[in-house]
Amino acid sequence: MKQGKLIPTHNVLEANRCISELQRRPKLEMVGLGLVYGAPGLGKTTWATRTALRENYIYLRLEATTTAKNFSKTLLRTLSKSLGYGDIAVAGSAHDLFQRSVNLLALHPHTVILIDEIDYGFRNPLLLGAIRDIVDETLAIVILVGMENAMERLLQINRYYFDRCSQFYQFLPCSLKDLSMVATSILEIKMDEDVVRYIHRVSGGNLRQAIKVMDSMESLALAKNLSTITMKDLGG
């Protein structure tokens, strides 16, 4: 199985469109805040990490223990490395660290920051406020990536914050066309369309589950020295 590919499924194209729309926004009238969300296993983190790597965006991942100061340290360290300033000291108060990041972003106004697992931020008003301040005080784009109820939770927690988001996209289960594209792109063998339809049915469009099934089928095909796998090879 081929590794590291970012396949242009419907979800990937629509999530990319959110970034493109924010890049084209009237920057003096709208902040660059968006939210991408959806159920587990649909490819949100894969999209975020691989898009960040390919486009030289900033990728940050929150954890249950992330505080506003932890976030400020990680943001400053990551920005410095990504923007070509190398390793820098990250000592000081959360406010001082954050202000240094703001100063860097002022010099690089086209920076895009993807913040994964934003649901952890919903539990921490200071952390959520720090992320909001990035788009309030700079021209940077921030894309929040969260679970399927992230949109509703953000609205419940802070309507003012929610209103600042101008782009939303909910990741959906993969279509048959998406999974056929995935199979063609990542497998070393070919799959009969009936097999792809079977995978689509048993996975329910969950990309993570579909890839697990594809991997097991590819292993079976390679063990049998098959270049194409059919339903007959799977016992009907």
> pLDDT per residue over 12-53, tens digit each?
999 999 999 999 999 989 999 999 999 999 999 999 999 999
In tens, the pLDDT along 108-125 reads: 999 999 999 999 999 899
Tokens of residue 145, six digits: 């990536």
First to last CA, the chain: 24
| Residue for token pair 């996209």 | 169
pTM of the model: 0.93
pLDDT level of residue 157 (50, 70, 90 thresholds): confident
